[in-house]
Amino acid sequence: MSTNTNTNTKHSYKLSVKKATRRTRRRQLEGKCKSKKKLSQKLQALKNLIPSHNGDEVKTDELFKETADYIVFLRTRVLILQKLIEIYGNNTENQHDVLL
């Protein structure tokens, strides 16, 4: 009788470990799905900010390159505008004298 009880205990233990392992795997998969969904949402938001792709399907590495190029473009634009302000000033009195 003790051998039968011992076998049942081992079997019961193996089942509980199996269930716990399945639960852990399921939770890990759910977490991965949530993080993939968040990443996908963030990539979509980035695509919406970058004007060059016009809603077309873009690979992630291409999207990052386009983003880097767009950042450089915007920085250059800001520098040019700052230089124009330095040259022409931001004084409203000088607006009548400057012809653009």
Q: Is the confidence at residue 71, as pLDDT, over 60?
A: yes
Crossing angle for the helix pair 2-49 and 60-88, nearest 10 degrees?
40
Within 8 A by CB and 6+ apart from 37, the residues are none
What mean pLDDT, rounded, does the chain reach?
Answer: 80
pLDDT tens per residue, range 4-61:
556 667 677 777 777 778 777 777 777 777 888 899 999 999 998 988 766 678 899 9
What pTM did the predictor assign?
A: 0.55
What's residue 30's pLDDT? 72
Q: Measuring CA to CA, how many Å separate 49 from each of 44, 54, 65, 66?
A: 9, 10, 13, 11
User: Would you place residue 2 in the very low, low, confident or very high pLDDT band (cuts 50, 70, 90)?
Assistant: low
